Structure 1
Amino acid sequence: MRPRLAAALALPLSALALSGCGLFGPATYGPEERSIEVDAGDEFTLSLPASPSMGQDWHLVSPHPDPAVVKRTGQHKETEESDPDLVGGGSGERFFDFEAVKSGTTEIKLIHCPYSSSCSTTADNPEPSPTSSSDTPVPTATGKPGTNPEYFIYTVTVR
């Protein structure tokens, strides 16, 4: 009788154990989770509040993460229309997808541009940067994006 009980419990328990390992999708981290620990081979996502249709967005900037430790695998956005009468006025999320390559520590640096005129690019610098010196972004210790451009720095440790 015991072998049957062990076999009956093995599948549900292994599914439960593997669910924390990303079996059912990559682990997702928000703006308040700036210290991330993952295992080599794990996929993970940074999920940040944004409204790209209103000019509020996030961008990966230099220095980029060490590609020997973390590899960027993509990005996408999801937006919701909060009011059908407001064209493009919905809130949403910006997602940055990564894969942990091998053991080590690296940083992922993102800039939050709260409105379309707060950040710009040039031919010499294709990465977004603040449009005026009064908008110089600084790392923020809070998990909530503010109304000025800000850098959000994530420290990723791959085990």
Structure 2
Amino acid sequence: MNPDKTTVRRRLIRLAVSVLLLGAAGTLTACGSSADRREYGTGRRSIEAKPGEEFTLAFPMAPSQGEWWYVVPPEPHGGVVRSEGDREEYEGSDGSGGGDGTQYFDYEAVGTGTTEIRVLHCPVGTCVGKGATASPRPDAESTNSDQAGKARYYTFEVTVRG
């Protein structure tokens, strides 16, 4: 038995509608995920959010070359944003941390106001200490410097509006 053209057309339409609905359902599911967290890097340092919104500071890094990023004092106002921790992702599949990757600092906006998050970029040999105690050697440059290979501070201004 060979189906006629009308039957084939109806089946194709039903199949297309099913595919579209499945695609829309996947999109709706993804919208509420943490993958929708907005990311900011050194090129955009003004952040606006609403209470409950999550955002991430993301920076390229080369730990195998001694390059790291640190959130340093003064701490952001805890009534405006809350740190949700930091993490790293490395290129390649082995996850050993031997290659280049991205360093992330995750935050949640918790209350209205404005605060700053200060980050220190430390290329190899430019900083002493680690984490919040990291500090640049005396020859560190400001963020206005075009000199590569120097430690630099980046200040992110976060405004949370209700």
Which of 130, 134, 143 is the matching residue for 1:128? Answer: 134
Residue 68 of structure 1 pairs with residue 79 of structure 2: yes
Cα distance in 2 between the residues matched to 1:126 and 1:112: 12
Q: In the comparison of the two structures, how many residue pairs are matched?
A: 132
1:35-74 per-position Cα deviation (integer Å, ceiling 9, x unaligned): 0101101111111111123210100001110111011011
Residue 118 of structure 1 pairs with residue 126 of structure 2: yes
Aligned counterpart, 1:149? 151
Are the counterparts in 2 of residues 51 and 79 from structure 1 also a CA contact under 8 Å? no
Are the counterparts in 1 of residues 126 and 149 from structure 2 also a CA contact under 8 Å? no
**Structure 1 residues 93 and 140: alpha-carbon distance in aligned structure 2, compared to 1, 3 A threshold:** farther
Which of 138, 141, 144 is the matching residue for 1:137? Answer: 141
Identity %: 38
In the alignment, residue 142 of structure 2 is paired with which amino acid?
V
1:88-140 per-position Cα deviation (integer Å, ceiling 9, x unaligned): 3x22100000010100000000000011x211129xx9611113x22x23234
Cα distance in 2 between the residues matched to 1:138 and 1:55: 20
Residue 35 of structure 1 pairs with residue 53 of structure 2: no
In the alignment, residue 138 of structure 1 is paired with which amino acid?
S
3-state DSSP of counterpart to 1:155? strand
Cα distance in 2 between the residues matched to 1:112 and 1:140: 13
Cα distance in 1 between the residues matched to 2:114 and 2:157: 7
Residue 59 of structure 1 pairs with residue 65 of structure 2: no
**Structure 1 residues 148 and 97: alpha-carbon distance in aligned structure 2, compared to 1, 3 A threshold:** same
3-state DSSP of counterpart to 2:64? helix
Structure number with the higher helix fraction is 2
In the alignment, residue 111 of structure 1 is paired with which amino acid?
L
**Which entry has the higher C-alpha Rg, 1 or 2?**
2
Backbone CA RMSD of aligned residues: 3.0
Are the counterparts in 2 of residues 140 and 151 from structure 1 also a CA contact under 8 Å? no
Tell me the TM-score normalised to structure 2 length: 0.71
Are the counterparts in 1 of residues 72 and 132 from structure 2 also a CA contact under 8 Å? no
**Structure 1 residues 140 and 92: alpha-carbon distance in aligned structure 2, compared to 1, 3 A threshold:** farther
Are the counterparts in 2 of residues 56 and 114 from structure 1 also a CA contact under 8 Å? yes
